[in-house]
Each structure stands twice: as C-alpha cells, then as structure tokens.
C-alpha cells in the first residue's frame, strides 16, 4: 500500500504535513474533484487521512463562512455605519464628499478584488462572495449609500 520506507517504530511520514502515521492513502480523482487520477498526470503521492480530508475540503470548496453568519454580520454592521455616515453628512461641512468618496471606492475595490481573485480560482460566484472582507466592503458601500439617501431626504424633504 505504501512506497515509503518505514522508520524503526513502523510509522510512515506523510509527505504533505510531515506527521508520522501507520498508513498512507492514495489520492484519487474523486478526492480532488478532477477528471483524471493524480497518478495519470504524474503526481504520485500518498498522504495521511487528515491530509486526504483537507485536500477533499479544499477541492470541494467547503465554505466555513455560512450565509446566515454573513447576513448577520452585514445586518449588525450596516445600521451603525449608516448612522455614523449620516451624522458625518449632517454635521461636518468640511471635505466630507472627498473622504466618503475615497472610503466608498476603497470598499468597492475591496469587494471587486476579493471576489475577482476567488472567482478566477474557482469559477463559483456564490463561493466567491462568501468572504468576510467582501461582507465588510459591501456593508460599508451600502452604509454610505443609505446615509447619503437619508441625508438628501432630510435636506429636501
């Protein structure tokens, strides 16, 4: 089952993580979500059971940042930020437009960069959007839009 040499205690060293285990397992095409087996492409590697599971999770794009947590974080972030920006719009007469424009564009660039990098790697938009940085950037962008709308409504209405 293994091509590795045994140490005196009868344990094999996993080439991926370096831990010593009693047996190593061969990666299959199904393990890493590929059409061909790794051995067919010249990748001969046997790994421990922990590494097989972590490679499976990485290949299947298991999300640890769940949708409920993402929505909860956004809903707890947007209202305070909206109030802060609204207070800024109503009280400060300095270069508030320039500052909020820079913040807005930076948040938008963060969302675009994070989503773009993850989508380029996975081609899965839903998985690409489930990211804390994307949630924070989206929350800041929404908060500025809401605060600007409320400020205009208060000014003219």
Give the tens place of pLDDT for each residue, 85-109: 999 988 887 888 889 999 999 999 9
Tell me what percent of the residues of the chain surpass a pLDDT of 90.
34
- Provide the 3-class DSSP secondary structure of residue 138: helix
**Is residue 78 domain-shared with residue 114, that is, in the same domain?**
yes
**pLDDT confidence tier of residue 34, bands split at 50, 70 and 90:** low
User: What's the whole-number mean pLDDT along residues 26-41?
Assistant: 64
**Is residue 73 domain-shared with residue 119, that is, in the same domain?**
yes
Q: Tell me, yes or no, whether 7 lies in a domain.
A: no
Residue 21 parent element (H or E): strand 20-21
Q: Tell me, yes or no, whether 6 lies in a domain.
A: no
Q: How open is the CA angle 59-23-18, to the nearest 5 degrees?
A: 65
Mean pLDDT (the chain, rounded): 81
> What pTM was computed for the model?
0.62
Query: With left for phi above 0 and alpha for psi between -120 and 50, is residue 10 left, alpha or beta?
Result: left
Range of the domain at 44: 12-60
Task: Write down the pLDDT at residue 25.
Answer: 80
Residue 119 parent element (H or E): helix 96-122
Whether 146 shows a pLDDT value over 90: the answer reads yes
Q: How open is the CA angle 132-138-144, to the nearest 5 degrees?
A: 140
**Is residue 79 domain-shared with residue 147, that is, in the same domain?**
yes
| DSSP code at position 15 | T
Residue 125 parent element (H or E): helix 125-129
Number of domains in the chain: 2
Whether 16 shows a pLDDT value over 70: the answer reads yes
DSSP secondary structure of 64-114: SS-HHHHHHHHHHHHHHHHHHHHHHHHH--SSHHHHHHHHHHHHHHHHHHH
Q: Output the CA torsion 10→15→20→25 (10° steps).
A: -70
User: What's the whole-number mean pLDDT along residues 53-77?
Assistant: 82
**pLDDT confidence tier of residue 43, bands split at 50, 70 and 90:** low
**Is residue 71 domain-shared with residue 148, that is, in the same domain?**
yes
Q: Are 139 and 77 in contact (CB under 8 A)?
A: yes
Q: Tell me, yes or no, whether 32 lies in a domain.
A: yes
**Is residue 79 domain-shared with residue 25, that is, in the same domain?**
no
Task: Write down the pLDDT at residue 9.
Answer: 66
């Amino acid at each position: 089952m293994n091509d590795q040499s045994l140490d005196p205690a009868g344990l094999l060293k996993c080439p991926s993580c370096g831990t010593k285990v009693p047996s190593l397992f061969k990666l299959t095409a199904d393990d890493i979500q590929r059409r061909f087996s790794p051995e067919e492409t010249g990748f001969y590697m046997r790994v421990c059971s922990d590494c097989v599971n972590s490679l499976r999770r990485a290949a299947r794009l298991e999300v640890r940042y769940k949708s409920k947590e993402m929505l909860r974080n956004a809903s707890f972030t947007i209202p305070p930020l909206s109030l802060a920006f609204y207070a800024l719009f109503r009280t400060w007469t300095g270069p508030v437009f320039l500052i909020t424009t820079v913040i807005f564009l930076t948040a938008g660039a963060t969302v675009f960069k994070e989503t773009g990098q993850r989508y380029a790697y996975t081609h899965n938009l839903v998985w690409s959007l489930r990211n804390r940085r994307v949630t924070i950037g989206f929350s800041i962008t929404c908060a500025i839009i809401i605060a600007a709308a409320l400020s205009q409504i208060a000014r003219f209405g």
